[in-house]
Amino acid sequence: MAGGGLASPFKFTGAGGYPGVNGNCGATLAPSASCTIEVAFEPTLVGLQTDTIEIYYNNGSTTDQANRDIQGTGATPATLTFTPASTYDYGVQAIGSSTQFTFTVTNTGSISATSITDTGLSSANFQYAGGTYPGGGTCGTTLAGSGASCTIIVEYNPTTVGPHNDTISFSYFNGVSTVSTSLPVTGTGANPANIIITSGEPDPYDFQADFGILAFGATATHQLTIQNIGGVPATAFTLSGLSAPYNISATTCGDPLNAGASCTIDITYAPTSTGPHTDTLQINYNNGVSAQVFTEGVAGNAAAPAQLTISEVEPYDFGTVPLGAIVPHVFTIQNTGGVAATSLSGAGLTSSDFRYESTGSYPGSTGTCSGSLPAGSSCTVVVEFLPQSTGTKSDTLTINYDDGVGATSVSRGLTGTGANPALLSLSDGPSYDYGSIARNGYLDHIFTVSNLGGVDATSISPVAFSSTEFDFAGGSYPGLGGNCGSTLAAGASCDIVVRFSSSTNGVFSDTLQINYNDGVSAQSASRPIGGVVTDPALLTYTPNPQDYGTVARGSTSVATIQVDNTGGVSA
């Protein structure tokens, strides 16, 4: 017996010789006996292939052969591929999060892959969902050929910050031998998203946006800048929580807020009632691991708008002021409202007769007002009246300010009268002569002082006489019987009494001088005075004595006696 007829892809196993490696047929086969041959099909082409096994033998009389047709179909080995086909990157994920991805495994070969076994995912950061292959996917130990597919689900669970790498790997029998396939996976662990406030309040962890005190009817906007200081985007980002009188009037924030990114939120406070108002802004987001809520308290207090008042009655009267004089007056500005008045400035005073003290600028050189005035506080402005002509003058003091709602003002009318300065005149001009008086005698004279100006003369005081022969009667101003004082009203008059006396003869002179303030500056009025002191009157008789002689009773004797005044003054 001998075998033959086989051609590639068919052959006896082993080196190709009859009966094959594991065949036991030999050259002879006894009657009713059997033996085996081993034929291998080793296709190198895809498709149906045929051949014939031929056994040649001698049947005892002649040479004969036994044939057996054989066929087989060549197919491609099982080949497992992944989708996606190259390294899959889970991206940046938060520590503590779990991110799943479903991979598709496809057998692109013609025959089934068998004995599929997981041999990868050795790090703690990557694992099959649920912990074991195929992670809830559809893959098993066998996958049919010709494009059949299944799925595996792999989780990325970063435990530390930084990059992580691993490999999904299978071993399987492809119909020819045990082979493997793999797919690298990578991901980066980062800190979870973390929202903080970086501006709009002094402390990012203070959680309080304070509008302070706001005037009822006004609006104010407070801008918060928030930042994601985590390593992953804040997703599912929304704003909520505020209700009237608060609202979010504008924002640059969107969903998501990327790692390191910032955005702004404008919160508007528009109170419709007085008193404190509080609320809470909620910033809702997912930090990459779980839902989070960041809260920011908001507070405000609505009060009455600022209300400025100016002291004094309406209008304020500076009175009568002499031309050339400057009279200041301090006006008190008070804020009786509930919020600060801002943008204070002086206005009015358009005439040349009134001005802010010294500089002409608000609030006057010694005024204390500035650009703002807190609630319940007061300050001063100083206004001067400096009439440029006689007559009644008027103007208006105006203080402009913002009451917390808008621009407004408060005013006080001003009036005053310009008049000529005080002018004192002494009677008996241009000089007064006492005439002659007797030595050791005296003569008093009343001088009338008249104010011919339009305002009071003040600070009236005498100047001491330069000689002892003249003085105020009684020794002090205004003299006995005098009625002048230190002030003399406009158009009024008064008297002073000056005495002339001496113990020696002679001709004497002096000046009566009265100093005063005319309402502008120091002035004086004077009158030259003089007189003569002589011997007292002295009467003598001639003849002296007079002798009538002897005269009869009942008769009359007449004699003329001369009386002479030999003194210096009349007797």
- Summarize the confidence of residues 371-387 as an average pLDDT: 97
From residue 181, give the alpha-carbon distance in Å to each of 75, 78, 80, 137, 336: 20, 11, 7, 18, 86
- Residue 68 gets which letter from DSSP? E
pLDDT in tens, 306-325: 999 999 999 999 999 999 99
205 falls in which pLDDT band (50, 70, 90)?
very low
Which of 172, 385, 213 is closest to 299 using CA atoms? 213
- What is the pLDDT confidence band of residue 433, given thresholds at 50, 70 and 90? very high
Neighbours of 444 (CB within 10 A): 17
- Mean pLDDT over residues 273-300, rounded? 93
Q: What one-character DSSP code corresponds to residue 532?
A: E
What are the pLDDT digits (tens) for 240-253? 999 999 999 999 99
Q: Spell 232-248 as b/e; 16+ CB within 10 A means b.
A: bbbeebebebbeebbeb
436 vs 23: CA distance, rounded Å: 190
- The least confident of 110-114, 115-119, 183-187, 554-558 is 554-558
pLDDT at 557: 80
Give yes or no for residue 74 having a pLDDT over 70.
Answer: yes
Domains of the chain listed by start with CATH number: 2-74 (no CATH), 80-190 (2.60.40.10), 195-303 (2.60.40.10), 308-419 (2.60.40.10), 424-534 (2.60.40.10), 537-571 (no CATH)
Residue pair 456/519 in contact by the 8 Å Cβ criterion:
yes
Average pLDDT, the chain: 93
Closest CA to 342 of 305, 313, 312, 384: 305
Q: Which residue has the tokens 């050189």?
A: 365
Per the model's pLDDT, the better-predicted residue between 556 and 497 turns out to be: 497
Position 327 scores a pLDDT of 96
- Compute the distance between CA of residue 283 and CA of residue 293 in angstroms, rounded to an integer: 6
Model confidence at 208, pLDDT cuts 50, 70, 90, reads low
Residue 200: its pLDDT value, please?
53
User: Where do we find the tokens 């009869």?
Assistant: 552
Predicted confidence at residue 204, as pLDDT, reads 46
The predicted pLDDT at position 556 comes to 87
Q: What is the pLDDT of residue 567?
A: 67
Q: What does the pLDDT average to over 368-377?
A: 97
Give the model's confidence band at 540: pLDDT under 50 very low, under 70 low, under 90 confident, else very high. Answer: confident
Query: Does the pLDDT value for residue 201 go beyond 70?
Result: no
Of the candidates 423, 414, 434, which has an alpha carbon nearest to the alpha carbon of residue 507? 434
What pLDDT is stored for residue 403 in this prediction? Answer: 96
Specify whether the CB–CB gap between 323 and 388 falls below 8 A. yes
Q: Are 133 and 152 in contact (CB under 8 A)?
A: yes
Mean pLDDT (whole number) for 210-232: 92
Query: What pLDDT sits at residue 515?
Result: 98
Separation CA 269–CA 250 (nearest Å): 13
Cβ proximity of 227 and 195 under 8 Å:
yes
Overall average pLDDT of the 282-298 stretch = 94
**Alpha carbon 12 to chain centroid distance?**
97
10 Å CB burial of residue 292 (0-12, 13-18, 19+) is middle
- Read off the pTM: 0.60
> Percent of the chain beyond pLDDT 70?
98
Q: Does the structure show a pLDDT above 60 at 532? A: yes
Confidence band of 198 (pLDDT split at 50, 70, 90): confident
Q: What band does 543 get if pLDDT is binned at 50, 70 and 90?
A: confident
Give 441's contacts (C-beta < 8 A, 6+ positions apart).
501, 536, 569
Contact indicator for 386, 326 with CB cutoff of 8 Å: yes
Residue 426 has pLDDT above 50, yes or no: yes
Helix (H, G, I), strand (E, B) or coil at 43: coil
Token digits for 30? 């006894």
DSSP secondary structure, 189-244, as one string: EEPPP-EEEEESSS-TTS-EEEEEEEETT--EEEEEEEEE-SSS-BEEEEEE---T
- Position 561 scores a pLDDT of 79
Average pLDDT over residues 100-125: 96
